[in-house]
């Protein structure tokens, strides 16, 4: 356990770069490993989650090295990976294990996946159910949990599958396995989720297209067994990490912060859309395209927010941002209503329960519902608590943002999970004028 405390601070000012997008980083490594030739990746996230994906791919035979901050991946082609000699540990990362289940199944090998206590409590049947239809075999603890092993078949079968829950991880696992199947594999989404996998199939020379069906559903069809070719990837900044800086700058009075080179894919920008509706002063500067993804610099200045009802159908485009939105809501006048969030119960922690518990401990009025939260905000909040983070990086970072504006400091019981996604989080904030340290809050 590594407690961290944040204290009410001066304005936040300056320009920062946040870690490379985690979703794109995992996929850049995976697509590099599935391609022929050497893929050069710049801006790769240095978080533990992405490093775990890299180690897993190395264990399966991909060549991955780093030279002068550039990650070089020597690909083995689709279906060209090998059976690892030992179990593959994916730490805290749901994206890593779910995507790699699809990758491992591309060849007739057996891969045994393990993870930490948080990952070992997260549901895996959502990925195994469709992958079994492709002919892949699994052996999982209690049929749904890690540790589990994946056995790829001699020949995969293409499938057509409608996602029962909106999940880019499940969609991606099916598309990745489908890349090794003959013919066309289709995934149907009722609600659109992040499309980084689809963009990368095209970018690496594969054949994928999407269309809207008669009921408004989104149908993505990938053609199997292409030869993917290595291509350079420049990973843009992660909007889910920029979120913490943006919310902190909105709430700390007199702040003026610019976050450079943030991915603004419209399937990821729901938090920024929502904050603007709440009255946030956010400007997108120098909007441009970077390696197939829209990016911009975000300038944020302190703003008095007001509560709103966040549309439930916006959830997939901001699914990881609700913890920090709760902090913004605590400082927004009136009520903020967040609905349609049952998926938050199966993230790194049960984020609805854990946020509600932490907010209450910090003196903020919150009502927990089966699939949402309602927060009554104001212009100040007491803080002054130690919050349990349950091995969840986003819970830890959200409450550290709260402590920058609450009356009393806020301590998180364990800041170490922050390294899974945002190494250097405290230093980056302190460089902007914040006060985050490992000196614990004095009991009040
Ligand atoms: C991710 C998809 C989302 C998100 C996760 C990253 C991805 O999970 O919460 O942090 O990179 O595909 P779900 O697919 O479970 O919604």
What tens digit of pLDDT does each residue of 318-360 get? 999 999 999 999 999 999 999 999 999 999 999 999 999 999 9
Nearest 5°: the CA angle 358, 363, 367 is: 65
* Contact assessment for residue 56 and residue 87, using Cβ atoms and an 8 Å cutoff: no
Q: How many structural domains does the chain have? A: 2
- For residue 442, what are the contacts with CB-CB under 8 A and spacing of at least 6? none
Sheet holding 256-263, edge to edge: 13-17, 256-263, 293-301, 281-290
Residues 83-136 have pLDDT tens digits of: 999 999 999 999 999 999 999 999 999 999 999 999 999 999 999 999 999 999
Residue 380 counted as domain residue: yes
Residues 147 and 256 in one domain: no
Residues 135 and 204 in one domain: yes
Q: What is the pLDDT of residue 56?
A: 98
Residue 73 counted as domain residue: yes
Residues 375 and 365 in one domain: yes
Residues 202 and 322 in one domain: no
Host domain of residue 394: 4-20+236-437
What values do phi and psi take at 226, rounded to 5? -80, 170
Q: Which atom of ligand 1 is nearest to the CA of 194?
A: 12
What is the C-alpha separation between 337 and 423, in angstroms, rounded? 31
| Residue 319 in contact with ligand 1 by CB distance below 6 A | yes
Q: What is the pTM of this model?
A: 0.98
Q: What is the pLDDT of residue 442?
A: 66
| Residue 93 in contact with ligand 1 by CB distance below 6 A | no
* Contact assessment for residue 408 and residue 440, using Cβ atoms and an 8 Å cutoff: no
Residue 131 counted as domain residue: yes
Residue 288 counted as domain residue: yes
Residues 351 and 253 in one domain: yes
pLDDT at 394 over 90: yes
| Residue 303 in contact with ligand 1 by CB distance below 6 A | no
Residues 44 and 92 in one domain: yes
Per the structure block, which two tokens stand in for 407?
A: 């009356």
| Residue 393 in contact with ligand 1 by CB distance below 6 A | no
> Does 320 participate in catalysis according to the annotation?
yes
Please report which residue ranges of 377-437 form alpha helices under DSSP H. 393-403, 425-431
Q: Which atom of ligand 1 is nearest to the CA of 167?
A: 14
Residues 246-304 have pLDDT tens digits of: 999 999 999 999 999 999 999 999 999 999 999 999 999 999 998 779 999 999 999 99
User: C-alpha distances in angstroms, 226 versus 153, 179, 251?
Assistant: 18, 7, 49
User: C-alpha distances in angstroms, 58 versus 63, 76, 308, 397?
Assistant: 6, 11, 46, 30
At 16, which helix (H) or strand (E)? strand 13-17
Domain end, chosen from 215, 249, 274, is at 215
> How close is the Cα of 28 to the center of ligand 1, in Å?
15
Per the structure block, which two tokens stand in for 109?
A: 């090998």
Please report which residue ranges of 194-295 form alpha helices under DSSP H. 196-203, 239-251, 270-277
3 state SS of 255: coil
* Ligand 1, atom 13, residue with closest C-alpha: 167
3 state SS of 92: coil
Q: First vs last Cα of the chain: how many Å apart?
A: 22
Residue 52 counted as domain residue: yes
Residue 365 counted as domain residue: yes
Closest CA to 192 of 101, 100, 316, 375: 316
Q: What is the pLDDT of residue 306?
A: 98
Residues 293 and 376 in one domain: yes
Residues 266 and 137 in one domain: no
User: The domain that contains 372 carries what CATH number?
Assistant: 3.65.10.10
Residue 227 counted as domain residue: no
> How close is the Cα of 363 to the center of ligand 1, in Å?
31
Q: Which of 52, 234, 269, 320 is catalytic?
A: 320
**Alpha-carbon torsion angle 86, 91, 97, 98, nearest 10:** 160
Residues 157 and 250 in one domain: no
Residue 9 counted as domain residue: yes
């Amino acid at each position: 356990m590594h407690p961290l405390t944040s204290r009410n601070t001066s304005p936040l000012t300056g320009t920062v770069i946040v870690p490379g997008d985690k979703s794109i980083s995992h996929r850049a490594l995976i697509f590099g490993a599935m391609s022929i030739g050497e893929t050069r990746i710049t801006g790769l996230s240095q978080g533990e989650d992405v490093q775990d994906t890299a180690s897993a791919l190395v264990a399966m035979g991909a060549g991955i090295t780093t030279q002068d901050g550039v990650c070089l991946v020597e690909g083995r082609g689709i279906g060209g990976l090998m059976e690892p000699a030992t179990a593959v540990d994916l730490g805290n990362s749901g994206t890593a294990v779910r995507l790699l289940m699809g990758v491992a199944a591309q060849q007739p090998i057996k891969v045994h996946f393990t993870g930490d206590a948080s990952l070992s409590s997260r549901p895996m049947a959502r990925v195994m159910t469709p992958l079994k239809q492709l002919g892949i075999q699994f052996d999982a603890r209690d049929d749904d949990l890690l540790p589990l092993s994946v056995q790829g078949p001699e020949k995969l079968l293409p499938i057509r599958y409608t996602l029962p829950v909106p999940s880019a991880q499940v969609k991606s696992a099916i598309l990745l396995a489908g890349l090794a199947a003959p013919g066309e594999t289709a995934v149907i989404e009722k609600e659109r989720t992040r499309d980084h996998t689809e963009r990368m199939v095209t970018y690496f020379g594969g054949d994928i297209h999407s269309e809207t069906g008669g009921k408004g559903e989104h149908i993505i069809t990938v053609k199997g067994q292409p030869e993917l070719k290595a291509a350079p990837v420049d990973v843009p900044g992660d909007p889910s990490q920029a979120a913490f800086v943006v919310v902190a700058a909105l709430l700390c009075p007199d702040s003026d912060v610019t976050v450079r080179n943030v991915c603004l894919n419209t399937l990821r920008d729901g938090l920024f859309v929502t904050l603007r509706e709440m009255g946030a002063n956010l400007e997108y500067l120098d909007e441009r395209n970077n390696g197939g993804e829209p990016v911009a610099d975000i300038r944020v200045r302190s703003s008095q927010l007001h509560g709103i009802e966040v549309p439930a159908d916006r959830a997939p485009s901001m699914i990881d941002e609700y913890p920090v939105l709760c902090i913004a809501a605590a400082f927004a006048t009136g009520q903020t209503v967040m609905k349609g969030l049952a998926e938050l119960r199966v993230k790194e922690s049960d984020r609805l329960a854990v946020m509600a518990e932490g907010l209450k401990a910090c003196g903020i009025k919150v009502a927990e519902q089966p699939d949402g939260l309602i927060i009554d905000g104001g212009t100040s909040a007491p803080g002054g608590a130690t919050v349990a983070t349950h091995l969840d990086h986003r819970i830890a970072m959200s409450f550290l943002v709260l402590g920058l504006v609450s009356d009393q400091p806020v301590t998180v019981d364990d800041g170490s999970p922050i390294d899974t996604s945002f190494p250097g989080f405290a230093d980056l904030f302190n460089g902007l004028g914040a006060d985050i340290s490992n000196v614990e809050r004095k009991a009040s």
